[in-house]
Amino acid sequence: MDTLKQKTLAYYKQQAEDRIDAFRDMIVALTEDASNDAKGSAGDKHETALSMMHLEQEKLNHKMKEFLDQKAILDKINPEIVHSKIALGSLVKANNLYLFVSAALPKIIIEGINIIALSPQSPLGMRMMGMKEGDEFEVGTTKYRIEQVQ
């Protein structure tokens, strides 16, 4: 039976892969459109259309790189490792919140549990790194208590 941490990592990896695939498909379609447009057009309108497609392709490439970077971070995480201190890949329960130290990703729900993925470079992530069960800390006006580290 997979642990909550294993399910969380698998879900986020699948989300990243799905997004990467979607962006690859959009980039290919845009490239094909530009190629087809180039065959039968000439003039200023054509140049403007090609420039717009090129800008859109750059935006898509930039967004895809973000997802590739997130996927690379997720690929570094071994879900079998149970951390005694909070590190990259830890699933942390603090104040009845589940926090997955990985990359800044959307909140998900697994087995009815809300899980928030956060980057170790985020204010909360930086503050938690190296802490262990029972430790307490503050970020802003919120006090946190580490209840569990996986």
Rounded to two decimals, the pTM is 0.84
104-116 confidence digits (pLDDT tens): 999 999 999 999 9
58-103 confidence digits (pLDDT tens): 999 999 999 999 999 999 999 999 899 999 999 999 999 999 999 9
* pLDDT averaged over every residue in the chain: 90
Q: Is-contact 3 79, C-beta < 8 A?
A: yes
**Beta strands 97-101 and 113-118: pairing type?**
parallel
Backbone angles phi, psi at 75, to 5 degrees: -65, -20
Q: Is-contact 26 58, C-beta < 8 A?
A: no
CA 67 to chain CA mean position, Å: 6
Q: Is-contact 149 85, C-beta < 8 A?
A: yes
For residues 51, 57, 63 and 68, what is the CA-based torsion angle, rounded to 10 degrees?
-150
**pLDDT of 45:** 65
